Amino acid sequence: MNRTIKFRGKDKHDCWRIGWLEVTNDGRFYILENDKYWSDDGFHNNDFSGSYEILEESIGQFTGLFDKNCKEIYEGDIVKHPYIDPIFRDLVETKDGVTSEVVFHNGAFVIKYDINDHIYLCDFTRHNHAEVVGNIYDNRELIRK
């Protein structure tokens, strides 16, 4: 099985970067693009143009899943989806759907309904019921109950 492991984060210029996540010994976070890597003796591949220091609070991992428009879904994304009844877990069709944050919880990527209720993200993507509409860093106002 081939699994794509990559991360997303914002640099100090407010630009999103996607690639490998590296943490330096002094606690700085980098997204490394173009097959660069970090070791104790510095960056390798002699090309520093694809290495970006990023803000720790903006880091999100790629879930390995795609929304109904084939857009990659990352931890911290806000997805629009149908409402699921919290007691019976039935899909309830609503005109506009609801929006929720994608989080990593108990070993899985889930949609966060509230502090105690999570539903597996794959339950929505499997049937093309999820659409990325923003992320918690740029569009927190999109999350509504």
In 3D space, the residue among 45, 74, 53 whose CA is nearest the CA of residue 62 turns out to be 74
pLDDT at 132 over 90: yes
pLDDT at 29 over 90: yes
Report pLDDT for 46: 46
User: Is a pLDDT exceeding 90 seen at residue 140?
Assistant: no
For all residues of the chain together, what is the average pLDDT?
A: 84
Give mean pLDDT, residues 137-142: 88
- Name the nearest CA neighbour of 143 among 88, 86, 80, 95: 80
